[in-house]
Amino acid sequence: MDDLCFDEGNEIEIDFELDENVKKDIEKSKKKKVPKTILENIECIVDGLAKFKLRDDFFIEAKANIDFLKKKLDLSPIQIVFLSLFIENSHNSYIEISSFTRILGCHLISLLKYTHEIEGLEENHLIRSNVYKGRKSYTVPYEVIDALKQNKKYTYKSLEGLNTIELFTEIENLFEEFDEDTLSQMQLINELDNLIENNPTLNFCKQVKIYEDSFLNNKNFGLFMFFCYRFICLESEKVNLSQIKEIYENKRDFSQIKLSLQSGKNELIKNNIIEYANDNGIANKEVYSLTNKAKEELFVDLELNKFISNSDNGLLEHGKIIEKKLYFNEGEDSQIKKLQDYLSEENFSTIQERLEKQGMRKGFACLFHGSPGTGKTETVYQLARLTKREIMFVDIAQSKSMWYGESEKIIKRIFDKYRGYVKSCKTTPILLFNEADAIIGKRKEANSNSVAQTENTIQNIILQEMENLDGIMIATTNLTQNLDSAFERRFLFKIDFQKPKPEVKAKIWKSMLPSLTKQEAIELSNSFDFSGGEIENIVRKYTIDSILTNTKPSIEKIRMYCKTEKIENKNSPKNKIGFIYYGKTQDK
């Protein structure tokens, strides 16, 4: 192969004497119609290499294509040759330089002098290298292919100065590339390490560096990042050995990790970063999860819901709560006003600090109990509005899954999520467990069926979380006679919402139906034993009737609404509230 030299300009210079035929070929090449896209020109170069190898004739034949790509991609001629070969082999995640010798018609040793040109491609992030067992290979990132498809020069996106959400988006992209075999295990680890190094101000990255200085080594780094990726990006609380196996390309490496995990000698277990999953009180050495300690240290500045859902962030903003005047009996009214005073920002912070100094639990757990329709849930909304706190609303029905083990995971995730909000929100939000009868009732016998055991496990999780609560939790319930004594002890404030007395009901009637006279409001309140919610139902019927008839219903019509509001069957016992599972009801 003749020695060729390439200048830094736009034209290729050849350092040997050209005869007239060669000069004619060059002129002919210049006049040849050049394709207009990057990929078409790359294809011409690959075709030329297949025909002429890396000889003089190739550079004459492909001169116009090389000049086009030099201007478009800002690369040297020999870099264009190698990039074209990498693109041609981009289906392979392990491209070795030795595979180019056949198409180039030369020995491997002849290509070694172009190592710095290949390194230039790597520095420009057009290819990635990987060394495994002493053998170096390359891959072409998907984003490079995508840019070239769009006839654009690939511009590397800086991965410095990311926020936490952007960081985990990049982590997710890397694991997806690994799953699609466009990244090797070593490349994945290198790219993850670069992300951590390039974003040293993020809490997550700071904590990872602390771990690295203490116990996190190269063998466990990929595994550790895999747990974080699955927890944040896939909303997966547990990771089993089969899933862990997928991130190891070498069976021996996986076998060593598996042995260290099951024996408890892995540094991640020894340092309380991951733990065995709890399977009905027994440690399952086939399944693992991040510990609460790790989550609290790593994800302080993460709003976890942004990785779990594309919907709103899961908090009801206090500014969106509509003001509503509520009326209570004197006892409840006094307690609610006192709680509002406690939850005002200036008082809440002071109370928490004092409690903590005295070694007491500083969380506020409140129980609102009483008959349906007495304003328990609405009171939580109005407290949030008045104290400028967001609400994290928990739907109990969705939290109780028919699949064994799933409910425990959901409950844990709820509290993990809330802890993230407590740390990231300016004002501590309220965690609302609405209609919590199903999760705070008396626990079942230890020898009960698996469903009962699951319910007991859920309750134990909630009790432990209440013990460690660092925020505000409010649970509402219609029943208290079945309340487990362990829950009763953990609720700091308990407010009994009783049905309103006649004078209070008269205010509710007058407030909701201003057209009523004072005497009519008093008469309705004395005649019908309604809760505030039932009165609201009647007022809604009144409003609908007004819209349809374009007239205001008479007081007689309102009385008729009142008489049909309650459904009572004196011959049937009152229905019990129970756990809903498999479409049936199991009595407590």
Q: How confident is the model at residue 234 (pLDDT cuts 50, 70, 90)?
A: confident
> Exposed e or buried b for every residue in 332-370, given b needs 16+ CB within 10 A?
beebbeebeebbeeeebeeebeeeeeeeebbbbbbbbbb
CA atoms within 13 A on the CB side of 280: 10
User: If 0-12 CB within 10 Å is exposed, 13-18 middle and 19+ buried, where does residue 15 land?
Assistant: exposed
pLDDT tens sequence across 62-95 = 999 999 999 999 999 999 999 999 999 988 878 9
pLDDT tens sequence across 359-410 = 888 889 999 998 888 899 999 999 999 999 999 988 765 555 444 456 676 7
Most confident of 85-94, 183-192, 206-215: 206-215
Long-range (24+ apart) CB contacts under 8 A made by 456-462 are 457/278, 457/280, 457/281, 457/408, 458/400, 458/407, 458/408, 458/411, 459/484, 459/487, 461/408, 461/411, 461/412, 461/415, 462/411, 462/487
* Cβ contact 138:129 at 8 Å: yes
Q: How confident is the model at residue 261 (pLDDT cuts 50, 70, 90)?
A: very high
Q: How confident is the model at residue 304 (pLDDT cuts 50, 70, 90)?
A: very low
* Cβ contact 283:276 at 8 Å: yes
3-state secondary structure 27-47: HHHHHCCCCCCHHHHHHHHHH
* Cβ contact 104:148 at 8 Å: no
CATH class of 20-149: mainly alpha
* Residue 341, C-beta contacts closer than 8 angstroms, at least 6 positions apart: 347
Q: Looking at 95-109, 148-162, 449-463, which range is the least confident one?
A: 449-463
Q: Which of 454, 406, 485 has its CA nearest to residue 579?
A: 454
CA distance 341 to 28: 89
Is residue 224 pLDDT above 90, yes or no? yes
Instruction: Tell me the mean pLDDT in the region 470-486.
Output: 84
Q: Which of 128, 135, 100 has its CA nearest to residue 114?
A: 100
Instruction: Tell me the mean pLDDT in the region 477-504.
Output: 86
Q: Looking at 108-112, 283-287, 335-339, 438-442, which range is the least confident one?
A: 438-442
Verdict on whether the full-model pTM lies above 0.85: no
Please give the single-letter amino acid code of residue 165: I
Q: Which of 78, 72, 70 has its CA nearest to residue 1?
A: 78
CA distance 14 to 56: 9
CA distance 536 to 544: 12
Sheet with 364-370: strands ordered across: 315-316, 391-395, 430-434, 472-477, 364-370, 493-497
Per the model's pLDDT, the better-predicted residue between 484 and 261 turns out to be 261
> Exposed e or buried b for every residue in 108-123, given b needs 16+ CB within 10 A?
eeebeebeebbebbee
Look at residue 582 in the predicted model and tell me its pLDDT: 32
End-to-end CA, the chain? 87
Domain residues of the chain, as ranges?
20-149, 164-302, 315-497, 502-563
* Cβ contact 380:474 at 8 Å: yes
Q: Which two tokens stand for residue 336?
A: 């609610």
CA atoms within 13 A on the CB side of 487: 28
Instruction: Tell me the mean pLDDT in the region 306-317.
Output: 51
* Cβ contact 12:66 at 8 Å: yes
CA distance 418 to 428: 10
Residue position matching structure tokens 């006892």: 331
3-state secondary structure of 408: helix
Kindly state which CATH superfamily the domain 315-497 is placed in: P-loop containing nucleotide triphosphate hydrolases (3.40.50.300)
User: If 0-12 CB within 10 Å is exposed, 13-18 middle and 19+ buried, where does residue 257 land?
Assistant: buried
Q: Looking at 207-216, 305-314, 452-461, 467-476, which range is the least confident one?
A: 305-314
User: If 0-12 CB within 10 Å is exposed, 13-18 middle and 19+ buried, where does residue 258 land?
Assistant: middle
* Residue 277, C-beta contacts closer than 8 angstroms, at least 6 positions apart: 238, 283, 284, 287, 288, 289
Helices (H), 199-240: 203-214, 218-233
CA distance 48 to 45: 5
Within a 10 A sphere around the Cβ of 44, how many other Cβ atoms? 21
| Averaged pLDDT of the chain | 82
| Beta bridge partner(s), residue 278 | 283
Helix, strand, coil percentages in the chain from 3-state DSSP, rounded to 5: 55, 10, 35
> Exposed e or buried b for every residue in 294-312, given b needs 16+ CB within 10 A?
bbebbbbebbbbbbbeeee
